[in-house]
């Protein structure tokens, strides 16, 4: 029993927000062997090997980004994962279809296994993945169930489901491609993520294809030309309410063209909140308007969502989608010791939605200070100019 008070790392004096446990209080977090040992007030600190002073900071579970593109150098969209994610409070990301069955092995060997950021993946139903554009899905022969299932099963520690991003020119094959993606996701006991992009099917018809646990990303895009979750009178579609009710996850996936303040404000005012807030960080938006996940979270604080709710949308809810409920995205004793130490900075900050359609003046911004993953410390920085 002599080691009972010996911790590897102690994070002291921060405002701990762990929505999974309903915690929002000034507490210390003790870490041992890469796991959370305890979260309690005034832990005696003379036995810990390393102490991090978190006074003035918010301490949350390591953030989880449910929509990213981390296949740097092979997929046109890929950004370098560590400078984009773990350096900014994000300990776990889901790469959404940058690789397909033919291109996943190199993604695993040269990116996933060499990154400090924990990277899980949705295989693209296109076996080439999003090397460029839509990954060849203009031709549905790229949507190969057998290949996806074979590679997904072989890499079940990383692959959690299937993504499809179907180009408008494949409108006639839309249902067939989604059906193949769902079949493959089921074979892998994973989920299917639908990119809410243009097609001849109505949004309601597309949402009706999704089951409990499936994710619709870009869900709060501009609802123009019948392409979003709002109807012409700016009311949330019945099909969206029905999908939410049966357990479909509505994800932000901000990106360079897929998040609208107007849609979000309208939907939230009707009680239709997102389930998860993700960045869709890629090469076209990393220098704005997305920058990183914390800036995306700050946009929802500006819209009036409480901090604990926003943190839940980027911790325990995405953890559950990924099959890591209670293991990631929480500071519960025994959980993986992933933490984000964030600062709330006051001032005037211009924040833009996709395409710069609307720029709001926010009075507070979340800023990453330090990240801890599996009990290891990483310093944070931001490339946002402010
Ligand atoms: Zn994306």
Residue 253 Cα, ligand 1 centroid: separation in angstroms?
A: 7
Model confidence band, residue 355 (pLDDT cutoffs 50, 70, 90): confident
pLDDT in tens, 121-180: 999 999 999 998 888 898 999 999 999 999 999 999 999 999 999 988 888 899 999 999
- 121 φ, ψ to 5°? -140, 145
Residue 68 Cα, ligand 1 centroid: separation in angstroms?
A: 6
Q: What is the average pLDDT across 353-359? A: 91
Contact 329, 316 (CB under 8 A): yes
Q: What is the pLDDT of residue 385?
A: 38
Contacts (Cβ under 8 Å, ≥6 apart) of 1: none
Taking 50 as the threshold, does the pLDDT of residue 116 lie above it? yes
Q: What is the pLDDT of residue 13?
A: 95
Domain ranges of the chain: 61-321
Contact 78, 69 (CB under 8 A): yes
Q: What is the pLDDT of residue 382?
A: 47
Q: What is the pLDDT of residue 58?
A: 98
Residue 42 Cα, ligand 1 centroid: separation in angstroms?
A: 43
Model confidence band, residue 4 (pLDDT cutoffs 50, 70, 90): low
Residue 290 Cα, ligand 1 centroid: separation in angstroms?
A: 12
Contacts (Cβ under 8 Å, ≥6 apart) of 29: 10, 11, 14, 16, 36, 38, 39, 59, 331, 339
Residue 280 Cα, ligand 1 centroid: separation in angstroms?
A: 5
pLDDT in tens, 291-327: 999 999 999 999 999 999 999 999 999 999 999 999 9
Q: What is the average pLDDT across 56-69? A: 98
Q: What is the pLDDT of residue 381?
A: 55
How far CA 233 is from CA of 5, 221, 250, in Å, comes to 60, 16, 21
* Residue with the two structure tokens 């959370």: 36
Query: If you average pLDDT over every residue of the chain, what do you get?
Result: 94
Q: What is the average pLDDT across 196-204? A: 83
How far CA 339 is from CA of 9, 48, 64, 331, in Å, comes to 12, 17, 10, 8
Q: What is the pLDDT of residue 223?
A: 85
Residue 89 Cα, ligand 1 centroid: separation in angstroms?
A: 20
Q: What is the average pLDDT across 366-371? A: 96
pLDDT in tens, 22-37: 999 999 999 999 999 9
In this prediction the pTM is 0.96
Q: Hey, what are 375's tokens?
A: 């009990």
Name the CATH architecture for the domain at 61-321.
Alpha-Beta Barrel (3.20)
Residue 50 Cα, ligand 1 centroid: separation in angstroms?
A: 38
pLDDT in tens, 247-266: 999 999 999 999 999 999 99
Residue 291 Cα, ligand 1 centroid: separation in angstroms?
A: 14
Q: What is the pLDDT of residue 5?
A: 58
Length of the chain: 386
Residue 209 Cα, ligand 1 centroid: separation in angstroms?
A: 20
Residue 69 Cα, ligand 1 centroid: separation in angstroms?
A: 6
Taking 50 as the threshold, does the pLDDT of residue 189 lie above it? yes
Q: What is the pLDDT of residue 44?
A: 83
Q: Please state, for a pLDDT cut of 90, what percent of the chain lies above it.
A: 87
Give the C-alpha separation, 26 to 47, whole Å: 20
Q: What is the pLDDT of residue 198?
A: 64
Residue 272 Cα, ligand 1 centroid: separation in angstroms?
A: 22
Q: What is the pLDDT of residue 325?
A: 98
Residue 125 Cα, ligand 1 centroid: separation in angstroms?
A: 14
Q: What is the pLDDT of residue 1?
A: 39
Q: Please state, for a pLDDT cut of 70, what percent of the chain lies above it.
A: 97
* Residue with the two structure tokens 């389930």: 275
Taking 70 as the threshold, does the pLDDT of residue 211 lie above it? yes
């Amino acid at each position: 029993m002599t080691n009972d008070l010996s911790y590897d790392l102690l994070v002291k004096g921060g405002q701990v927000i762990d929505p999974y446990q309903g915690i929002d209080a000034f507490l210390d977090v003790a870490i041992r062997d890469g796991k959370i040992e305890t979260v309690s007030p005034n832990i005696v600190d003379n036995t810990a090997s390393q102490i991090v002073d978190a006074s003035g900071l918010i301490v949350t579970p390591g953030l989880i980004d449910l929509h990213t593109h981390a296949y740097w150098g092979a997929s046109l969209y890929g950004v370098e994962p560590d400078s984009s994610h773990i350096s900014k409070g994000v300990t776990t990301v889901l790469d959404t279809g940058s690789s397909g069955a033919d291109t996943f092995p190199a993604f695993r060997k040269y990116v996933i296994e060499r990154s400090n950021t924990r990277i899980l993946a949705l295989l693209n139903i296109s076996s080439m993945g999003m090397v460029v554009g839509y990954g060849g899905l203009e031709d549905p022969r790229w949507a190969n169930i057998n290949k996806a299932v074979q590679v997904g099963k072989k890499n079940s520690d990383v692959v959690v489901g299937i993504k499809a991003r179907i180009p408008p020119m494949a409108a006639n094959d839309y249902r067939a491609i989604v059906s193949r993606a769902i079949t493959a996701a089921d074979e892998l006991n994973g989920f299917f993520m639908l990119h809410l992009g243009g097609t001849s099917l109505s949004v309601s018809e597309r949402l009706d294809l999704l089951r409990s646990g499936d994710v619709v990303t870009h869900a709060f895009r501009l609802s123009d030309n019948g392409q979003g979750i709002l109807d012409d009178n700016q009311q949330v579609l019945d099909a969206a309410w029905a999908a939410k009710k049966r357990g479909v996850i509505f994800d932000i996936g901000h990106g360079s063209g897929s998040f609208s303040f107007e849609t979000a404000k309208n939907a939230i005012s009707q009680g239709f909140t997102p389930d998860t807030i993700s960045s869709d960080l890629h090469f076209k938006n990393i220098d704005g308007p997305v920058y990183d996940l914390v800036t995306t979270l700050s946009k929802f604080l500006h819209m009036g969502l409480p901090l604990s709710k926003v943190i839940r949308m980027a911790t325990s809810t995405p953890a559950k989608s990924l099959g890591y409920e209670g293991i990631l995205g929480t500071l519960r004793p025994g959980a993986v010791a992933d933490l984000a130490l964030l600062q709330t900075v006051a001032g005037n900050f211009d924040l833009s939605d996709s395409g710069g359609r609307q720029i709001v003046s926010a009075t507070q911004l979340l800023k990453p200070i330090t990240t801890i993953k599996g009990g290891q410390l990483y310093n944070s920085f931001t490339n946002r100019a402010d």
